[in-house]
Structure 1
Amino acid sequence: MKKFQVVGIGNAMVDVLSHADDAFLEENGIGKGIMQLIDMSRAVELYGCIGPAKEISGGSAANTIAGIAHLGGRTAYVGKVKDDQLGAIFAHDLRAQGAVYETKMAPKDGGHETGRCIVIVTPDGERSMNTYLGWSEFLTPADIDADQMANAEWIYLEGYRFDGPESHQAFADAIEACKGAGGRVSITLSDAFCIDRHRAAFRKMIVEDVDLLFANRAEILSMYQTDDYDAALQAAAEDVAIVACTDGANGAHVLADGQHWHVPAIPTKIVDATGAGDLFAGAFLWAITNGQGFETAARMGNIAASEVISHIGARPEADLMKLFAEHGVI
């Protein structure tokens, strides 16, 4: 048995969550429902404009790993932070969930700060993300522990990390170490605009190295440059062995082994949609590494997603195992 079920690699961020209306988004030039990259000065400006905020450790793949750890999975994470207050918060929160986090912190006198994502949540629960990557952008091959990757059943790569000068090589090194030891590779596409910036690199990795592709409807349509959702799903299934695609209130689709499952969503009052896809992926990966079938994995993913959108923050607050039992999936 390998030491880790899943090792994640991606951004290491602290989320700053605040509520505002659509008028606030328009007044401040914030695109609704998408992730925009910002610099440090813009991060400071926005922080001064928002109302009361809640700071919670985040980062897309880090949320996924925290979800797996919450379920008792054997996990580790690789993501770069600075030796500062937010960096300490990030490391503490992830380790407190039970995940291994050993990435070397950037020094206090480094020229960047720990990344943070200012998330504006509108009354409809949609989240608009303004991301200062900080040190997350500078994940390098030196941050990849080949032995850790070789000891993973799966690695989970965050598409957002394609926005980084050396991250592509870091991913390549992680893939080589993992697959060389019999492990498998999953990736989340993360964001349609991120795909637009790096489509060729995404496609090459998907076709050559990826075993499990996570996406949502907008992302998979962007990846395959079509408006036909079914066609995009089928195109993805030709590229990878397993496709897991979420579609909001319409649930999730899983394509694998020549089969196509549609799993309905769990009706939930949306408080904050942040982390829905992240926790879907976490529960799905936990399920398949614990012997569950793909349809059950998607049901667990939908349950985990419904829990995380029912409150502020992208980490689970309720006992997911208890929720699985209540929904009859375990």
Structure 2
Amino acid sequence: MVYGIGNPLIDILIQVSEEDISALGLSKGTMHLVDSSERSRILTHCAGLPVEYRCGGSCPNTIIALASLGIDAVLGGKVGPDKEGDEYIRQLASFSSASTLARGQEATGSSIILITPDTERTMNTFLGANREFSLDDLDLDLVRNADYFYFTGYMWDTDAQKAAILAALGACRNAGTKIVFDAADPFAVNRNRLEFLQLLDSHVDILFANREEAGILFGSDSMEGCLAALKKRCDTGVIKNGRHGSVVYSNGAEYSIPIFPATALDSTGAGDMYAAGFLYGLIQGLGPREAGLCASWLAGKIVQIKGAQFSPREFEAVRQGLEAGEWKVSG
């Protein structure tokens, strides 16, 4: 079983131009934390553009994917006492994902995802009720009974969130639960670099990071330097490098993982699906190289659709593809 704690967010997907990003004064391709007034400013600017609403959040995306692929997966987090919270729980159930979502006092969190023609996403995240997540919302029995505990760098926002995650990590160590950490975003890594390095040294079994995140985390401008630093700190780690594929390191061995040919429509959720595919492979008893291929294959599927999540019907198709071995390559 995989137990993930993250930030449930209602994703608001909007197709925009490069000029819109500039006019809003946003840094393209990154995640910005916004307050309610900034959220309103962005939505006002984008009024009239096509909008879609989906159940999202980085860790939730991964947990939903695992559950939809037949893996026992449970999501922890917090939503608000509002219709958005009701909708989130309703959509979550449609993906067969179990949850221990608590109800907070603040509004349900949301992420305005602005997608430019090159498929790059610029996320503007209003955390809302997520910031209230605390030790009182943590299910330690689930932590102890899980095979993998999954969390992301986005949880390093408030002291209460950090305290809850650190308590979970302590329980993992005592129970033998494997700890999986996704660095999540360059902004999060830059802001919390030293604490994240401490996590790697003392807790983390498996790390996911893209090339930019790894560069900030390990203080290296080269892929080789990042890999060298990774090998000193983790038993298993993945560095994703965009069109150049990814590199999986595990217990002294290194594997180059290619990307799968795809016509990219939207890169939202590619990293979340990669993590889901990798954990899916490990849980199915595959080795790290094969798990990396599952991850790359699944990431290649999600970029072909708009949004960070497949529909239940699409999930069934990708599940069949994984089971049929469509991810297998020679070599």
Shorter-chain TM range is: over 0.9
Residues 34-183 of structure 1: matches in 2 within 5 Å? 34-50=30-46, 51-106=49-104, 110=105, 112-183=106-177
- What is the RMSD computed on CA atoms of the aligned residues? 1.3
Q: What secondary structure sits across from 2:170 in the alignment?
A: helix
Cα drift, residue 103 of structure 1? 2.2
Residue deviations 1:5-27 (CA, integer Å, cap 9, x gap): 21111111011001011111001
Q: Tell me the distance in 1 between the aligned counterparts of 2:88 and 2:289.
A: 33
Q: Tell me the distance in 2 between the aligned counterparts of 1:185 and 1:90.
A: 26
Q: Which runs of 4+ in 1 moved over 4 A?
A: none
Work out whether 1:218 is the aligned partner of 2:220.
no
Q: What secondary structure sits across from 1:237 in the alignment?
A: helix
Equivalent AA in structure 1 for residue 54 of structure 2: I
Q: Tell me the distance in 1 between the aligned counterparts of 2:174 and 2:264.
A: 42
Equivalent AA in structure 1 for residue 36 of structure 2: M
| Structure 1 gaps, min length 5 | none
Q: What secondary structure sits across from 2:10 in the alignment?
A: strand
Work out whether 1:321 is the aligned partner of 2:319.
yes
Contact 1:187/1:213, CA 8 A, preserved across alignment: yes
For residue 260 of structure 2, the aligned residue among 258, 262, 266 is 266
Q: Tell me the distance in 2 between the aligned counterparts of 1:179 and 1:161.
A: 19
Contact 2:30/2:122, CA 8 A, preserved across alignment: yes
TM-score (ref. length: structure 2): 0.94
Percent of paired sites with the same residue: 30
What is aligned with 1:241? 235
Cα drift, residue 326 of structure 1? 5.8
Cα drift, residue 323 of structure 1? 2.4
For residue 6 of structure 1, the aligned residue among 2, 5, 10 is 2
What is aligned with 1:306? 300
Q: Tell me the distance in 1 between the aligned counterparts of 2:79 and 2:204.
A: 27
Q: Tell me the distance in 2 between the aligned counterparts of 1:84 and 1:304.
A: 33
Contact 2:204/2:234, CA 8 A, preserved across alignment: yes
Q: Tell me the distance in 2 between the aligned counterparts of 1:95 and 1:177.
A: 27
Q: Tell me the distance in 1 between the aligned counterparts of 2:319 and 2:101.
A: 29
Q: Tell me the distance in 1 between the aligned counterparts of 2:286 and 2:179.
A: 18
Residue deviations 1:200-255 (CA, integer Å, cap 9, x gap): 11111111000000111110001011111111122012101000121111111100
Q: Tell me the distance in 2 between the aligned counterparts of 1:249 and 1:92.
A: 35
Q: Tell me the distance in 2 between the aligned counterparts of 1:99 and 1:62.
A: 9
Residue deviations 1:279-309 (CA, integer Å, cap 9, x gap): 0001111110120111111111111111111
Q: Tell me the distance in 1 between the aligned counterparts of 2:239 and 2:2.
A: 19
